[in-house]
C-alpha cells in the first residue's frame, strides 16, 4: 500500500505490531535465528499450515512436502526485512533488526542448504536466502521441466513462482506455466468454465465434478496472485521504492511470442500508465504511456524519460 500510494500512515499505524510479530518469532523458536518448532505442533492445526494444498503433498495430507521449519524461517527473514524497510521510511532506529536480519540470513544459508521442493527453491530465490541464486533457479527450472512443465507449489510457493523464475533468467518457463492448459494450470480452470481463480487447481475435474464439497472456493486469492506477475513482469509496470506512489515508475515489459500481444494499464495517483506490446513476426513493437518520469527498460536497455508516449 505504501509503495503504490506513498502514504506513510499505514506504516506508522502498524510498525509496532510488525516489530512485536518479529519479536514473538525470535522468542518462540527452538533454534536461534530460525523459526523451528517441535514435531507435535507441526501437525495440522497445531501451528503452521505449511505449503497448503501443494501438489507434492503426501497422500491424504493437505500440506505440501516443503518443511514447515523452512517456510517459517524464510518468512521470519522476510518479515524482518519489512520491519527494516518500514523503520527506515519512518526514521526509526532499526539497528537491532538489521543485525537480526543478517544473522537470520546467515543461519538460514547454513542450516537450509538442500532445496528438495519447488517451493524450497522459490522462497530461497524470492526472499534472497541463497548465496548461489542462479544454481537454485536452474534447479527450480529443471524441476518444473522434469515434471512435464508443471508446477507443484501450493499457497506458499505459487504467488512467487513466476517471479522467482523470471528474475533469474527463466522467463520462458514462467510463460510456459502461465500458458499451460493441462492440470494443474490457470488455463485448465478457464477451460473448465472458471471466471475467477479457484482454491484447488481441479476444483472441477475433467468429469465435471467438484474436487470436494467441503473446502472448494471458486474465487480465491492464492493462485489468483498470478495477476501481479502479469502486471509487473509481462507488462512490466512497477513501483520504484525510491519514488513511492509512482512519483517515478519503472516500466520493463517482458514479452513472449506465444501470447502475441498484451495491453495493460494501471491508474496511479498521478494518472494512467499503459504498457502494450505486440509481435510482428520476430519483431516486437512496444507502446508505452507514462504520466510521470520513468525508467523504461526494453530488452535490457534503459531509457530515462519524462512523462509522455513512447514507441520502440
Express each pLDDT in 230-266 by its tens digit: 999 999 999 999 999 999 999 999 999 999 999 999 9
User: What pLDDT, on the 0 to 100 scale, is given for residue 59?
Assistant: 82
Convert the pLDDT of each residue in 294-308 to its tens digit. Answer: 999 999 999 999 999
H or E segment and range at residue 176: helix 171-179
pLDDT at 135: 97
Strand, coil or helix: 284:
strand
Distance from C-alpha of 195 to C-alpha of 219, rounded to nearest angstrom: 9
- Whole-number Å distance between alpha carbons of 191 and 13: 43
DSSP letter (8 states) at residue 166: H
pLDDT at 142 over 80: yes
Q: How far is CA 140 from the centre of its chain?
A: 15
96 C-beta neighbours (distance < 10 Å), count: 14
Residue 198: pLDDT above 80? yes
Q: What angle do CA 195, 197, 199 make, to 5 degrees?
A: 135
pLDDT value of residue 221: 87
Per-residue pLDDT tens digits for 210-228: 888 878 899 998 999 999 9
Contact predicate 198/185, CB 8 Å? no
Asked if pLDDT for residue 39 goes beyond 90, the answer is no
CA angle 57, 60, 63 (to 5 degrees): 35
Structural domains of the chain, with CATH: 2-179 (1.50.10.10), 236-311 (2.60.420.10)
Q: In the structure, what pLDDT confidence band is assigned to residue 284 with cuts at 50, 70 and 90?
A: very high
Measured distance CA(28)–CA(31) in Å, rounded: 9
Cα gap 244→170, rounded to integer Å: 28
178: pLDDT strictly greater than 80: yes
Through-space distance between the first and last CA atoms of the chain, rounded to whole angstroms? 31
Whole-model pTM over 0.85: yes
Does residue 43 surpass a pLDDT of 80? no
Query: What is the Cα–Cα distance from 159 to 154, expressed in whole angstroms?
Result: 9
Higher pLDDT, 59 or 90: 90
Amino acid at each position: 500500500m505504501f509503495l503504490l500510494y506513498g502514504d506513510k500512515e499505514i506504516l506508522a499505524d502498524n510498525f509496532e505490531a510488525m516489530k512485536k510479530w518479529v519479536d514473538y518469532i525470535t522468542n518462540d523458536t527452538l533454534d536461534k535465528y530460525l523459526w523451528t518448532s517441535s514435531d507435535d505442533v507441526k501437525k495440522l492445526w497445531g501451528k503452521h499450515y505449511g505449503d497448503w494444498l501443494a501438489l507434492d503433498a503426501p497422500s491424504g495430507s493437505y500440506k505440501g512436502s516443503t518443511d514447515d521449519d523452512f517456510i517459517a524461517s524464510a518468512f521470519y527473514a522476510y518479515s524482518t526485512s519489512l520491519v527494516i524497510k518500514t523503520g527506515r521510511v519512518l526514521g526509526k532506529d532499526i539497528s537491532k533488526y538489521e543485525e537480526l536480519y543478517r544473522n537470520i540470513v546467515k543461519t538460514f544459508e547454513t542450516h537450509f542448504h538442500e532445496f528438495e521442493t519447488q517451493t524450497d527453491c522459490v522462497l530461497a530465490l524470492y526472499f534472497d536466502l541463497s548465496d548461489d541464486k542462479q544454481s537454485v533457479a536452474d534447479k527450480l527450472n529443471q524441476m518444473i521441466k522434469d515434471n512435464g512443465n508443471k508446477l507443484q507449489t501450493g499457497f506458499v510457493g505459487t504467488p512467487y513462482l513466476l517471479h522467482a523464475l523470471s528474475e533469474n533468467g527463466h522467463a520462458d518457463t514462467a510463460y510456459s506455466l502461465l500458458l499451460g492448459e493441462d492440470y494443474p494450470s490457470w488455463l485448465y480452470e478457464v477451460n473448465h468454465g472458471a471466471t475467477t481463480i479457484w482454491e484447488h487447481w481441479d476444483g472441477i475435474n475433467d468429469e465435471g465434478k467438484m474436487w470436494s464439497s467441503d473446502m472448494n472456493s471458486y474465487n480465491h486469492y492464492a493462485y489468483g496472485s498470478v495477476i501481479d506477475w502479469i502486471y509487473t513482469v509481462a507488462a512490466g509496470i512497477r513501483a520504484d521504492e525510491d519514488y513511492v506512489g509512482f512519483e517515478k515508475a519503472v516500466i520493463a515489459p517482458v514479452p513472449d511470442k506465444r501470447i502475441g500481444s498484451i495491453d495493460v494499464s494501471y491508474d496511479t495517483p498521478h494518472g494512467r500508465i499503459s504498457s502494450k506490446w505486440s509481435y510482428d513476426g520476430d519483431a516486437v513493437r512496444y507502446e508505452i504511456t507514462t504520466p510521470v518520469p520513468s525508467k523504461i527498460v526494453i530488452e535490457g536497455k534503459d531509457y530515462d524519460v519524462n512523462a509522455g508516449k513512447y514507441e520502440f
